[in-house]
Amino acid sequence: MQRTFIALRAEPQKKISDCILHLQDALCMEKIKWVDQDKLHITLHFLGDTSPELVSATGKILEETVPGFTSPEVVFRGLGLFRSIRDPRVLWIGMDPDRILQDLKSMLDRKLDGVGFPAGERKFSPHLTLARIKYIKDRDLLEGLIEEYRDCFYQKSRMEKLIYYESILRSGGPEYHPLKIVHFKYAPS
């Protein structure tokens, strides 16, 4: 079994990198596990433990589906939390809605459900996970930082390819290995 997920790799430009460095510096005394900038991605579907047969079936679904979509253009904007300021768990950079990305997600969900990967109940909320919060002492500081970046525009990025990853959990953090890379229509290869 392989632990797998489908994602778009993010290439952070200066404004995102500067934001992350500022947050890391300001929150350096807190118990937070930061995501390496070279591992930032937009998860479309977390599949979890996947048999070799389903890895192959998923790869075929991606090869059949993704090239039919024009490469989405993503606008990264804002900063937020999953859960709440009283119980923060994930710190993220948000995205403006993108119709192509929403349509791709819906189609992949339908096709993956057909091979045994249900989409789940949650509404699709595309984002870049910056950190997982284990414990926060200074919630006021965190709330102030979120307010500071709440409406910040970071960058616009054309997503050229979708990547099917294997995630290997290690003590130093997860390692991501591409199982399949599929390019969007009109994206440079």
Is 106 part of a structural domain of the chain? yes
The C-alpha atoms of residue 67 and residue 182 are separated, in whole angstroms, by: 7
163 within some domain: yes
pLDDT band at residue 187 under the 50/70/90 scheme: low
Flag whether pLDDT at 69 surpasses 60.
yes
Q: Answer whether residue 17 is part of any domain.
A: yes
Confidence of residue 174 (pLDDT cuts 50, 70, 90): confident
DSSP output for the chain: -EEEEEEEE----HHHHHHHHHHHHHTTTSEEEEPPGGG-EEEEEEEEEE-HHHHHHHHHHHHHHGGGSBPPEEEEEEEEEEE-SSSEEEEEEEE---HHHHHHHHHHHHHHHTTT----SSPP--EEEEEEEEE-S-HHHHHHHHHHHTT-EEEEEE--EEEEEEEE--TT--EEEEEEEEEPBTS--
* Rg from Cα positions in the chain: 17
Q: Is residue 188 part of a domain?
A: no
Q: Give the separation between CA 44 and CA 5, rounded to whole angstroms.
A: 8
Quote the pTM value: 0.91
Question: What per-residue confidence (pLDDT) applies to 173?
Answer: 80
Give pLDDT tens digits for 12-63: 999 999 999 999 999 999 999 999 999 999 999 999 999 999 999 999 999 9
Burial group, residue 154, by CB count within 10 angstroms (0-12, 13-18, 19+): buried
Residue 107 pLDDT greater than 80, yes or no: yes
189 occurs within a structural domain? no
Q: How many domains does the chain have?
A: 1
pLDDT score at 121? 75
Q: What is the pLDDT of residues 122-138, one digit of tens each?
A: 788 899 999 999 999 99
CATH of the domain at 155: 3.90.1140.10
pLDDT digits (tens, 9 = 90+) for 132-156: 999 999 999 999 999 999 999 999 9
Position 188 scores a pLDDT of 53
Residue numbers of the domain that contains 81: 2-183
